[in-house]
Amino acid sequence: MKLPKLGKGAASENPASNADDGVSRETWDSVNMDTPIGAQAAQAVRIIHGAKGQQLPRPSRQRVFTIANQKGGVGKTTTAVNMAAALALQGLQVLVIDLDPQGNASTALGIEHRPGTASSYEVLIGEITLEEALAQSPHNERLYCVPATIDLAGAEIELVSMVARETRLRNALASLKEHDFDYVFIDCPPSLGLLTINALVAAPEVLIPIQCEYYALEGVGQLLRNIEMVKAHLNPQLEVTTVILTMYDGRTKLADQVAADVREHFGDRVLRTVIPRSVKVSEAPGYGMSILDYDPGSRGAMSYLDASRELAQRDEPTAKEQR
């Protein structure tokens, strides 16, 4: 069941946080216990909050990622939100574009997305500019979002008859000059329709989340074929540069086997960091937070922080060619 969303100033009502930087009550309980588990939790909290004082190197060019996988429930939105939050925590300017009519990325970033809100729908049909749809996350001044409303559900049909229907998001991004974003993450719906095609045309890089479960690679082949089609006809710069393993459960042999299969198929495009299966990560959006705000001492928060650093420090060959 979805947890109630909290507005600004309601942090004290959140059972999973207190006034001290949003650290969960559970985490602080363990921190205050003189036990090995308590010491480990305390160290995790120190690391995650120490990240606020660190600065990741800015990329020499703006990096735009489409986060895509036509299979639902693999962690697309979770990855988009938490990677963005982790990079912003470490001093970078980050934008998340929500292209999923469900608006889950908007919810997780604490951004209003009721009907009537300026959103990615109006941007795609040309009613407003991307800059007019920008909303700042209440959790970090460097983190922005273009929210999605339910109106986006009808955009697939409306775009069919429009001129340059596949390049509307790319054109909108090109006009965004006032904000010097280091990273842009485009969260796609679990389909390969015009919304996802717009995202693939707008970005030179694709990030694919793959869950460490049975049928993990099901549908990825079709996604890769579609990416090749978009590359051939609409966006020659498009490359799958990053794959991230999500929902990893180290207690099972299946997770290790899936991870090995994915690494064998995608090689060094797979991040070394894996994202563990975590109830906390699933709970966080219900409070309008990323896992780094909801429970910064959790394994999920630590993993996304590590993954963001790895992403920032990677210098992909395709990225060099595009500079």
Instruction: List the pLDDT tens digit at each of the 323 positions of the chain.
Output: 434 343 333 333 343 433 334 444 444 444 444 554 455 555 555 555 555 556 898 998 999 999 998 888 888 999 999 999 999 999 999 999 999 999 999 999 999 998 889 999 999 999 999 999 999 999 999 999 999 999 998 888 898 888 889 999 999 999 887 788 999 999 999 888 899 999 999 999 999 999 998 888 887 888 899 999 999 999 999 999 999 999 999 888 999 999 999 999 999 999 999 999 999 999 999 899 999 999 999 999 999 999 999 999 985 444 444 43
Return the pLDDT at 34: 53
Return the pLDDT at 197: 94
- HSE, side-chain direction, 13 A CA sphere, residue 86: 25
- Helix ranges (H only) for the chain are 25-31, 36-50, 76-89, 104-108, 120-124, 130-133, 155-160, 168-174, 194-202, 220-233, 253-266, 279-283, 291-294, 299-313, 317-322
Three-class SS state of 207: strand
User: What pTM was computed for the model?
Assistant: 0.83
Return the pLDDT at 27: 43
- Residues near 159 by beta carbon (within 8 Å), at least 6 away in sequence: 124, 125, 165, 168, 194, 198
Q: How far apart are CA 308 and CA 323, in angstroms?
A: 21
Cβ–Cβ < 8 Å for 244, 210: yes
User: How far is the CA of 213 from the CAs of 92, 114, 219, 253, 258, in angstroms?
Assistant: 32, 34, 13, 10, 7
Return the pLDDT at 53: 53
Three-class SS state of 172: helix
Length, in residues, of the chain: 323
> Closest Cα partner for 276 from 211, 185, 187, 207?
211
What is the distance in angstroms between the CA of the first residue and the CA of the last residue of the chain?
Answer: 46
Return the pLDDT at 14: 40
